[in-house]
Amino acid sequence: MFDSKTRTIVIVGAQWGDEGKGKLVDVLAERADWVVRYQGGANAGHTVHVGDESTVLHQVPSGILHAGVRCAIGNGVVLDPEGMFEEVDALVANGVDVAGRLYLSDRAHLVMPYHKLVDKESAASKAIGTTGRGIGPAYEDKVARRGVRVLDLRNPARLKALVERGTAHANHILSGFGSSKRADAAFTLSELERIAPRLLAIAEDVGLAVHRAQKQGAAVLLEGAQGSLLDVDHGTYPFVTSSSTTAGGAAIGVGIGPRSLDAVIGVVKAYTTRVGGGPMPTELTDATGEELRKVGNEFGATTGRPRRCGWFDAVVVRYAVRVNGLTGLAITKLDVLDGFEKIALCTGYKVGGEVMSEFPGDLAELEGIEPVYEWFDGWKSDTSTARKLSDLPRAARVYLDRIVELVECPAQYVSVGTRRDQIIGL
């Protein structure tokens, strides 16, 4: 994928998350010099399978499993420091050399204990279906200019003032919830004092470092979390995350200019899943949906929650192609469909006597809609051993061709299993 003209590639999810971005980043990282996470936090869960080993990464970039690749956490991420170092320690215990390869933007905001407390006590968070890891409250404090950045750890007086302000605000919110729980500024400061040396040891001006690497011709992967339909501006608001999950957020979340982005690959499943509340037009609540969940092992890597499952929604993905400016698709989990007699693909939404072909901004427009499906014969054969397009059954290729036609974006990769080698480059 990397060549003389394509040196910086953005990887985004083009559905509601859980599309398999971690695997694609892991595969492409073999030829990368840098892998950088640009938004989200510990609410993400990227699972990478190497041989018989599975590694779930929540904050550390997926490229860390490739020796020599430099990995960075950008300013657009809200970092749970305790959780990140748990990941790092687990990687080291499993023989992964992390020393000198992991960088953290000193402009990144920190998730505080009081953010997690507010998130867990919030009825709104439960209704939306957040992970309860403090992501939303941390982004709220960031926008309200009372957030704590990594670089604030270098200034104890400023840090103390920020934590006390943040704690007071959190306790005000908790009181409004009717909760008896309260945040403790002294506890938070003691936790930060304990972990500060380790955080500051990897703190860096990540934007500057990546910019310099780009000028020297480095191959750079920018790794997003969640999916395009969870973008705070372009997703199914208010059932969204708190950051910009689309490609426009990549430059902002790393600290580089948008003109330095050469390609944007959108990762999609060969069907559709979603976790938490909010609309999902093709959701199947019958035995077929349960079969997709079972065969696809559709349970959240972060929360373990069962995912809602349904047929591929071309309206959603065509929308994601547009708002991201996708240059290519990576279609994952094709093998999950191997056993189905018939497979459906949503081409539009029927409302009354009319068909809606574009995804609406007002979710009220989705009430009472009926998905318009095209049906395909299943291939009823094992695709997991396919390593080139011609190895796939004809019926599978017909299905993939129709997806490409409907979403108006070429496919560049097709994944047929969880392992690194189970991917077809087109």
Q: Residue 168 CB: number of other CB atoms within 10 A?
A: 14
Of 44, 40, 242, nearest to 140 by C-alpha is 242
- For 13-22, 228-237, 295-304, which range has the lowest pLDDT when averaged over its residues? 295-304
Three-state secondary-structure class, residue 271: coil
Tokens of 49: 């399978």
pLDDT of residue 53: 67
Annotated catalytic residue within 18, 33, 80, 119: 18
| Cα 118 to the center of its chain, rounded Å | 23
Binned at pLDDT 50, 70 and 90, residue 123 comes out as: low
> Does 8-105+203-265 match 109-199 in CATH topology?
no
Query: May I ask the CATH architecture of the domain 267-425?
Result: Alpha-Beta Complex (3.90)
Of 209, 207, 265, nearest to 412 by C-alpha is 265
Q: Are strands 328-332 and 411-415 parallel, antiparallel or unpaired?
A: parallel
Per-residue pLDDT at 108 exceeds 60: yes
Annotated catalytic residue within 66, 142, 169, 269: 142
18 counts as catalytic: yes
- For 43-47, 313-317, 342-346, which range has the lowest pLDDT when averaged over its residues? 43-47
Three-state secondary-structure class, residue 367: coil
pLDDT in tens, 288-304: 999 999 999 998 766 67
pTM of the model: 0.92
Binding residue ranges: 17-23, 43-47, 131, 145, 226, 241, 301-307, 333-335, 415-417
pLDDT in tens, 193-216: 999 999 999 999 999 999 999 999
pLDDT in tens, 267-277: 999 999 999 89
pLDDT of residue 132: 78
Instruction: Summarize the confidence of residues 41-45 as an average pLDDT.
Output: 77
Topology annotation, domain 109-199: Adenylosuccinate Synthetase, subunit A; domain 2 (1.10.300)
Q: Are strands 53-57 and 308-310 parallel, antiparallel or unpaired?
A: unpaired
Binding residue ranges for Mg(2+): 18, 45
What DSSP designation does 176 have? H
Tokens of 319: 């929308």
Contact 342, 309 (CB under 8 A): no
- 167: CB partners within 8 A, 6+ apart: 114, 183, 184, 185, 188
pLDDT in tens, 169-191: 999 999 998 899 999 999 999 99
Measured CA to CA, the distance from residue 282 to residue 262 in angstroms comes to 33
N-terminal to C-terminal alpha carbon distance within the chain: 10
142 counts as catalytic: yes
- Which class for 102: exposed (0-12), middle (13-18), buried (19 or more C-beta within 10 A)? buried
Annotated catalytic residue within 26, 46, 109, 313: 46
Mean pLDDT of the chain: 93
Domain ranges of the chain: 8-105+203-265, 109-199, 267-425
Q: Are strands 263-269 and 328-332 parallel, antiparallel or unpaired?
A: parallel
* 8-105+203-265 is classed CATH 3.40.440.10: yes
